[in-house]
Amino acid sequence: FCVYLDATYLPLRRETFEREAVYIAIGIKPNGHKEVIDYCIAPSENIEVWTDMLQNMKSRGLKQVELFLSDGVVGMKTALARTYPKAHFQRCLVHVMRNICAKVRVDDREKIMNEFKQIHQQTSKKEAAAVLHKFYARWNKAYSNVIKGLKEIEPDLLVFYNYPKQIRASIYSTNMIESFNNAIKRKAKPKAE
């Protein structure tokens, strides 16, 4: 069982229109069936709400999860380890790429992204680790803080390689839940009256 976790912001009408975080957990069963396991709304995204949501999912009967996929919300890995200690955690590589882009010079972005994308296009975890370490060596001088940050999260970057080749493309990023969130946003747009 695989669970994608993500929050998106929607304008919600209370006294006024305010953007609030909608937390969503989507599970994929071994047979490929997808379903929304849980969701909740809070003023902003924070780890306390995620922790409550994870504990709620467990108390409602979701006892075992093989893999969680999420962006880089601070504290997520710790919250997952407390609630589902046997589960593995894959950090979304697309979010990692976006974070890298935000921290590098515009002139270097395309080259850096093309090189970083090579990480998820390898045939084995060993090859991917070699590509990642080559990336570190190539860019460490110009962007030592970016590389330091990547090294800190490295254990969460290549977890998807532990799974069969047929499903790797769907578990190295949270694109599936991002698509779901975009559909919600389209449906939630206020209609002209």
Q: Are strands 34-42 and 88-91 parallel, antiparallel or unpaired?
A: unpaired
Residue 27: DSSP 8-state: E
Q: What is the pLDDT of residue 146?
A: 96
Q: Which residue did the predictor score with more confidence, 1 or 150?
A: 150
How many C-alpha atoms does 66 have within 13 Å on its Cβ side?
A: 11
Q: What is the pLDDT of residue 155?
A: 92
C-alpha–C-alpha distance, residues 187 and 151, integer Å: 39
C-alpha–C-alpha distance, residues 50 and 38, integer Å: 11
pTM comes to 0.85
Mind listing the pLDDT tens digit for each residue in 116-156? 999 999 999 999 999 999 999 999 999 999 999 999 999 99
C-alpha–C-alpha distance, residues 144 and 114, integer Å: 19
Tell me the average pLDDT of the chain.
Answer: 88
Neighbours of 148 (CB within 10 A): 11
Q: What is the pLDDT of residue 73?
A: 82
SS3 75: coil
C-alpha–C-alpha distance, residues 193 and 178, integer Å: 29
C-alpha–C-alpha distance, residues 169 and 87, integer Å: 19
pLDDT range class, residue 191, cuts 50, 70, 90 = low
Mind listing the pLDDT tens digit for each residue in 169-183? 888 887 666 666 667
C-alpha–C-alpha distance, residues 150 and 135, integer Å: 10
Mind listing the pLDDT tens digit for each residue in 4-29? 998 888 877 666 667 788 889 999 88
Helix (H) or strand (E) holding 26: strand 17-28
| pLDDT of 72 strictly over 80 | no
pLDDT range class, residue 110, cuts 50, 70, 90 = very high
SS3 41: strand
pLDDT range class, residue 192, cuts 50, 70, 90 = very low
